[in-house]
Structure 1
Amino acid sequence: MTSAADSRPDRPRRPSRPWGPRSVLGRLPGSLPFAAAARGAVALALPLLVGLATGWVVLAAIAAIGALWGVSQDGSDPYRVRVRRLGWTGVSSALGLLAGEVALRSGEPAAVAGCLVAAALVAGGVGLRGRIASVSGMHLLLGVTIGSGIPVPGPWWQPPLALLAGVALVLVLSAAPWLWRRHHVERAAVLAVYRSAGEALRAAGTETAEEARLRMTLALNHAHEVMAPHLSPRGRRRRDETGELVRAFHYAVRLGEAVTAVVWEGRALPPALTRVPRHLAGRLLPGRLAAPEERAAPPAPVTGSPGTRALAELVTAVDGEPDGADLELRLPVHDGPGRAARVRYALLLAGCVLAAHVLAEVLHRPRGYWLPMTVAFVYKPDFGPLFPRALHRCVGTIVGVAAIGAVSAAATGTYAVVGVVAVFGALMAIGVRHHYALATLGLTAVVFVLLDLLGDHRPLYGTRVVDTALASALVLVAHFAVWPDSAPHRAEAQTEAAVAAARRYRDAAPEAGPVQRQSLRRTAYHQLAEARRTVAHARREPARRGRPLPDWESAITAAEQLCDQVTAHAVAGTARPVR
Structure 2
Amino acid sequence: MAGIPLTPVPLAAAARGAVALAVPLLVGVGTGAVTPAVIAAIGALWGVSQDGSDPYRLRVRRLVCMGLAAAAGLLAGELALRGGHTASVTVCLAVAAVLAGAISLRGPLASVVGMHLLLGVTIGSGIPVPGPWWQAPVALLAGVGLVVVLSATPWLWRRHHIERAAVLAVFRAASEALSAAGTPAAEAARRQLTAALDHAHQVMGRHLDRAGRAETELGALLGAFHMAVRLGEVTSALVWEGRPLPRSVTDVPLLMAGQLLPDRGELPASVPGTAGSEASSPGLRALAGLYAESGRARPQDAAPRLPAHPWHGAGRLRYAVLLPACVLAAQVCAELLHGPRGYWLPMTVAFVYKPDFGPVFRRALHRCAGTVAGVSAIGAVTLLTTDTYALIGAVAAFGALMAVGVRHHYALATTGLTAIVFVLLDLLGDHRALYGERILDTALAAAIVLVAHFALWPDSAAGRAAAQTEAAVAAALRYRDLAPDATSAQRHTLRRTAYHRLAEARRAAAHARGEPSRPGRTLPAWEEAITAAEQLCDAVSARNVAASPPSMLSAPRRTASDAVGE
Shorter-chain TM-score range: over 0.9
Residues 402 and 415, structure 2, Cα contact 8 Å, conserved in 1: yes
Structure 1, 569-578 or 481-490: larger mean CA deviation: 569-578
Q: 1:110 to 1:506 in 2, by over 3 A?
A: same
TM-score (norm 1): 0.93
Q: Does 1:542 align with 2:516?
A: yes
Residues 59 and 159, structure 1, Cα contact 8 Å, conserved in 2: yes
Structure 1, 209-218 or 469-478: larger mean CA deviation: 209-218
Which ranges of 4 or more aligned residues in structure 1 deviate by more than 6 Å?
none
Shift of 1:463: 0.4
Which of 115, 120, 136 is equivalent to 1:159? 136
Q: Does 1:255 align with 2:231?
A: yes
Map 1:181-192; keep pairs closer than 5 Å: 181-192=158-169
Q: Distance in 2 between matches of 1:235 and 1:103?
A: 51
Map 1:342-357; keep pairs closer than 5 Å: 342-357=316-331
1:66 matched to which residue of 2?
43
Long gaps (5+) in structure 2: 555-566
Q: Distance in 1 between matches of 2:518 and 2:305?
A: 34
Per-residue Cα deviation, 1:52-75 (whole angstroms, up to 9, x for no partner): 111100110000000000001111
Residues 531 and 556, structure 1, Cα contact 8 Å, conserved in 2: yes
Shift of 1:275: 2.3
2:222 matched to which residue of 1?
246
Shift of 1:432: 0.5
TM-score (norm 2): 0.95
Shift of 1:295: 6.0
Map 1:285-324; keep pairs closer than 5 Å: 285-288=261-264, 290-294=265-269, 299=274, 301-302=276-277, 303-322=279-298, 324=300
RCO (CA 8 Å, sep 6+): is it higher in 1 or 2?
Answer: 1
Q: Distance in 2 between matches of 1:406 and 1:53?
A: 26
Paired residue type of 1:95: A
Residues 100 and 143, structure 1, Cα contact 8 Å, conserved in 2: yes
Residues 96 and 141, structure 1, Cα contact 8 Å, conserved in 2: yes
Q: Distance in 2 between matches of 1:58 and 1:294?
A: 58
SS at match of 2:219: helix
Per-residue Cα deviation, 1:151-207 (whole angstroms, up to 9, x for no partner): 111100000000011011111111111111111111111111111111122222223
2:543 matched to which residue of 1?
569
Which of 250, 265, 268 is equivalent to 1:274? 250
Q: 1:298 to 1:117 in 2, by over 3 A?
A: farther
Q: Does 1:31 align with 2:5?
A: no
Q: Does 1:482 align with 2:450?
A: no
Q: Distance in 1 between matches of 2:548 and 2:526?
A: 30
Q: Distance in 2 between matches of 1:537 and 1:99?
A: 35
Per-residue Cα deviation, 1:391-433 (whole angstroms, up to 9, x for no partner): 1100100111011011011122211011010001110111101
Shift of 1:218: 1.6
1:449 matched to which residue of 2?
423
Q: Distance in 1 between matches of 2:305 and 2:489?
A: 14
Q: Does 1:428 align with 2:405?
A: no
The two structures, once aligned, show a CA RMSD in angstroms of 1.7
Q: Distance in 2 between matches of 1:62 and 1:421?
A: 14
Per-residue Cα deviation, 1:41-60 (whole angstroms, up to 9, x for no partner): 00000000110111100110
Residues 202 and 269, structure 1, Cα contact 8 Å, conserved in 2: yes
Residues 278 and 296, structure 1, Cα contact 8 Å, conserved in 2: no
Q: 1:574 to 1:412 in 2, by over 3 A?
A: closer
Per-residue Cα deviation, 1:326-379 (whole angstroms, up to 9, x for no partner): xx1123322311222112111111011111111111110111000000000000
Residues 281 and 295, structure 1, Cα contact 8 Å, conserved in 2: no
SS at match of 2:106: coil
Q: Distance in 1 between matches of 2:450 and 2:115?
A: 18
SS at match of 2:475: helix
Shift of 1:301: 2.4
Paired residue type of 1:547: R
Q: Distance in 1 between matches of 2:272 and 2:448?
A: 63
1:14 matched to which residue of 2?
none
Q: Distance in 2 between matches of 1:42 and 1:76?
A: 17
Q: Does 1:359 align with 2:333?
A: yes
Percent identity, aligned pairs only? 65
Paired residue type of 1:309: R
2:194 matched to which residue of 1?
217
Q: Distance in 2 between matches of 1:321 and 1:199?
A: 22
SS at match of 2:182: coil
Paired residue type of 1:437: A
Residues 224 and 297, structure 2, Cα contact 8 Å, conserved in 1: no
SS at match of 1:91: helix
SS at match of 1:368: coil
Residues 502 and 559, structure 1, Cα contact 8 Å, conserved in 2: yes
Q: Distance in 2 between matches of 1:548 and 1:230?
A: 44
Q: 1:191 to 1:298 in 2, by over 3 A?
A: farther
SS at match of 1:319: helix
Q: Distance in 2 between matches of 1:250 and 1:367?
A: 55
1:174 matched to which residue of 2?
151
Paired residue type of 2:258: G
Shift of 1:239: 4.5
Per-residue Cα deviation, 1:287-314 (whole angstroms, up to 9, x for no partner): 24x5152566883622211110001101
Q: Distance in 2 between matches of 1:262 and 1:254?
A: 13
Q: Distance in 2 between matches of 1:65 and 1:235?
A: 42
Q: 1:238 to 1:350 in 2, by over 3 A?
A: farther
Q: Distance in 2 between matches of 1:495 and 1:114?
A: 40
Q: Distance in 1 between matches of 2:134 and 2:549?
A: 68
Aligned residues: 552
Q: 1:574 to 1:109 in 2, by over 3 A?
A: same
Q: Distance in 1 between matches of 2:247 and 2:441?
A: 61
Residues 252 and 275, structure 2, Cα contact 8 Å, conserved in 1: no
Long gaps (5+) in structure 1: 1-22
SS at match of 1:318: helix
1:402 matched to which residue of 2?
376
Paired residue type of 1:205: G
Paired residue type of 2:286: A
Q: Distance in 2 between matches of 1:433 and 1:497?
A: 29
Paired residue type of 1:452: D
Paired residue type of 2:314: A
Structure 1, 301-310 or 328-337: larger mean CA deviation: 328-337
SS at match of 2:474: helix
1:380 matched to which residue of 2?
354
Shift of 1:210: 2.2
Per-residue Cα deviation, 1:421-452 (whole angstroms, up to 9, x for no partner): 00011101111011100100000000000011
Per-residue Cα deviation, 1:262-288 (whole angstroms, up to 9, x for no partner): 111122223322221111010111124
